[in-house]
Amino acid sequence: MELESHCVSSRLLLVDDSPTNLRFLAHVLHHMGELFFATDGPSALQIARDKQPDLILLDVEMPGMSGYEVCQQIKQDPLLADVAVIFVTSHQSMEHEVRALEVGGVDFISKPLNPPIVRARVRTHMTLKQQSDKLRRLANRDGMTGVFNRRALDEILSVEFRRHMRIGAPLGLAMLDVDFFKHYNDCYGHLQGDDCLRHIARTIVASTRRPAESVCRYGGEEFMVVLPNCNAEQTLQYGHWLLDQIHRLALPHQNSDSGIVTISVGLHSQIPNETTSIPELIQHCDEALYCAKHHGRDQVCVYQAADAGVDA
Buried b (16+ CB within 10 A) or exposed e, 120-157: ebbeebbeebeeeeeeeeeebbbeebebbbeebbeebb
152 three-class SS:
helix
Whether residue 280 lies in the annotated active site: no
Rounded to whole angstroms, how far apart are CA atoms 48 and 124?
21
Of residues 293, 288, 242, the one with CA closest to residue 264: 293
In sequence order, what are the residues at sequence separation of 6 or more whose Cβ sits closer than 8 angstroms to the Cβ of residue 166?
none
Rounded to whole angstroms, how far apart are CA atoms 287 and 43?
42
Active-site position among 34, 213, 221, 222: 221
Rounded to whole angstroms, how far apart are CA atoms 125 and 141?
24
**Three-point CA angle 85, 88, 94, nearest 5°:** 95
221 three-class SS:
coil
What are the backbone angles phi and psi of residue 136, rounded to the nearest 5°?
-65, -40
Q: Residue 151 to residues 140, 205, 233: CA-CA distances in angstroms?
A: 6, 18, 28
Backbone dihedral region for residue 147 (phi beyond 0: left; psi -120 to 50: alpha; all else: beta): beta
Rounded to whole angstroms, how far apart are CA atoms 89 and 113?
9
Which residue numbers are catalytic? 221
